[in-house]
């Protein structure tokens, strides 16, 4: 069962729960399925009411259930299939649970009745199809009254079309006689077969006064939270046009894509860049996070806690947004062949002081140089606790050998793929935003001079206002 069918079934089941409690439609030995069949206005619902007065049935009336799923029904083919699809699922469910069901619908199409045959066979339930008809003279008399007395010419023309079809005229002949499109005659006949004479009443011209209802707003927010593929679309993202199409299909409300675009910001929905995330979970996440929180809580001068990480500095500038004249894109020259330098830094969790080193290679020796700088800067501390990621240089044999001979250091590894745990990542972001992004340095030495100036003035972080620093 797809998500849409599941939601529709849940909505209808909630409505039928009260009927289920009231009717108590259990049969002593075997449940029974009764399917009404006939044109609207022929007395199917009247017959169903009389029958349920004698034998307890759970009644599934499509006219009633349709309005549960669609606030403003338009009786389109897609809407019709959606309602019947949910009803068939519930019929099979209730029959399997021992309840007798009466399905009150037009059921004139053999395609739709075939589903009932399959349900009867799969559940082993007897099926009775009750075909209800009304005297032809009675139906014609009602339609002729509409033609003579209706003040709406469109209403009269639609009723006249039904009379002409009954007299044996083809759809094309009726279209020519009434000066209407063949598709309009098809639409009138379909609506008449679905809901009877009420389907011939023309809809009021112009847009409804309350096109954007509370139900539409709620459904729009729900759709944004789901993927288009759930509803059979090949797109990976919703567009305003696609949302408008889906809303019209579900709620029967014609709404323009521009209306959807104006409505979304009012519902606190914006067009923004998605954040990538991995589905890989760290089984040790809970234990690691508890150890980090405990260390941060117990941190003091004797055992300070540091956020430790490395950053890359590229001669090829990182390209980012900047102010520029409209219609004239700013150019940033690039050296072509990239050169790299690396930084290793440690951010004090309480004071915001930064200890850092630089190197030409991002390897274990860069990490050890940082540890040596920390040991020198915090000689009086009994223990230095470092929060690090799972990069290989923090776990290499050389690093482990160094740590065994320097018991002053203790490493706390953050959970896998959780960079936001390490607060020094924000410092690196500010470094790139202020120095390396869109830079115009010709050599790596010029760039590193700017990086050193930034790093020497970054402490304490945050709060140093290094972005306003002048050379």
How many CB atoms are located within 10 Å of the residue 156 CB?
17
- Among residues 223, 227, 209, 212, which one has the least CA distance to residue 263? 212
Pick the residue with more confidence: 8 or 203? 8
Indicate whether 360 pLDDT > 80. Answer: yes
How far apart are alpha carbons 144 and 197 in whole angstroms?
A: 12
Query: Has residue 94 got a pLDDT over 60?
Result: yes
Sign of the dihedral through C-alpha 238, 241, 244, 248: negative
Parse the chain into domains and list their residue ranges.
3-131, 136-200, 214-266, 285-319+334-468
Indicate the pLDDT class of residue 422, thresholds 50, 70 and 90. very high
Find tokens 């305003």 and name the residue. 240
For residue 344, the SS3 value is strand
Beta carbons of 403 and 376 less than 8 angstroms apart: no
Share of the chain above pLDDT 90, in %: 37
pLDDT tens-digit readout, 193-232: 766 676 787 766 554 545 788 888 889 999 998 989 888 8
- Residue 405's pLDDT is 92
C-alpha dihedral over 113, 118, 121, 123, to 10 degrees? -110
Tokens 């590193």 belong to residue = 448
What's the confidence (pLDDT) of residue 195? Answer: 66
> Which burial class, exposed, middle or buried, applies to 230 when counting CB atoms under 10 A from its CB (0-12, 13-18, 19+)?
exposed
Q: Which CATH number fits domain 3-131: 3.40.50.12780, 3.40.50.300, 3.30.499.10, 1.10.10.60?
A: 3.40.50.300
Average pLDDT over residues 40-69: 82
Beta bridge partners of 358: 343
pLDDT in tens, 395-405: 999 999 999 99
The token pair that represents 210 in the structure block: 């309350």
Across 15-24, 32-41, 179-188, the highest mean pLDDT is recorded for 179-188
How high is the pLDDT of residue 387?
A: 95
φ and ψ of 462, to 5 deg: -80, 165
Whether residue 240 contacts residue 260, with contact meaning beta carbons closer than 8 Å, is answered with yes
Which whole-number Å values give the CA distances from 293 to 72, 98, 353, 371, 413, in the listed order? 54, 56, 20, 22, 12
CATH class for the domain made up of 285-319+334-468: alpha beta
């Amino acid at each position: 069962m797809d998500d849409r069918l599941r939601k529709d079934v849940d909505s209808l089941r909630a409505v039928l729960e009260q009927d289920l409690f009231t009717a108590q439609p259990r049969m002593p030995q075997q449940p029974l399925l009764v399917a009404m069949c006939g044109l609207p206005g022929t007395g199917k619902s009247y017959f169903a009411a009389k029958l349920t007065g004698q034998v307890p049935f759970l009644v599934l009336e499509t006219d009633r259930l349709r309005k549960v799923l669609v606030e403003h029904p338009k009786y389109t083919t897609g809407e019709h299939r959606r309602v019947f699809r949910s009803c068939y699922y519930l019929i099979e469910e209730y029959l399997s649970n021992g309840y007798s069901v009466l399905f009150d619908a037009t059921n004139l199409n053999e395609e739709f009745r075939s589903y009932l045959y399959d349900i009867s066979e799969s559940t082993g339930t007897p099926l009775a199809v009750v075909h209800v008809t009304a005297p032809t003279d009675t139906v014609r008399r009602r339609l002729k009254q509409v033609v003579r007395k209706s003040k709406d010419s469109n209403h009269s023309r639609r009723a006249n079309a039904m009379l002409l079809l009954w007299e044996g005229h083809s759809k094309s002949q009726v279209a020519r006689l009434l000066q209407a499109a063949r598709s309009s005659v098809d639409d009138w006949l379909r609506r008449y077969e679905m809901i009877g004479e009420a389907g011939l009443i023309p809809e009021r011209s112009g847009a409804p006064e309350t096109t954007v209802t509370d139900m539409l707003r709620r459904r729009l927010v729900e759709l944004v939270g789901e993927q288009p593929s759930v509803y059979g679309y090949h797109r990976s993202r919703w567009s305003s046009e696609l949302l408008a199409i889906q809303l019209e299909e579900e709620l029967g409300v014609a709404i323009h894509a521009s209306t959807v675009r104006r409505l979304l910001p009012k519902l606190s929905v914006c067009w923004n860049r998605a954040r990538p995330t991995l589905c890989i979970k760290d089984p040790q996440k809970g234990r690691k996070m508890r150890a980090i929180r405990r260390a941060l809580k117990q941190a003091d001068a004797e055992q300070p806690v540091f956020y430790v990480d490395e950053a890359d500095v590229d001669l090829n500038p990182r390209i980012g947004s900047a102010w520029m004249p409209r219609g004239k894109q700013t150019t940033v020259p690039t050296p072509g062949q990239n050169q790299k330098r690396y930084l290793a830094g440690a951010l004090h969790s309480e004071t915001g002081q930064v200890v850092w080193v630089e190197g030409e290679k991002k390897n274990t020796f860069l990490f050890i140089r940082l540890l040596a700088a920390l040991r020198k800067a915090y000689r009086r501390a009994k223990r230095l606790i470092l929060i690090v990621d799972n990069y290989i240089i923090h776990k290499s044999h050389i690093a482990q050998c160094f740590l065994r001979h320097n018991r002053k250091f203790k490493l706390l590894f953050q959970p896998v793929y959780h960079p936001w745990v390490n607060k020094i990542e924000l410092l690196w972001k500010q470094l790139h935003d202020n120095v390396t992004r869109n830079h115009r340095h010709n050599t790596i030495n010029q760039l590193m001079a700017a990086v050193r100036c930034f790093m020497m003035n970054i402490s304490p972080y945050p709060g140093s206002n290094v972005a306003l620093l002048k050379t």
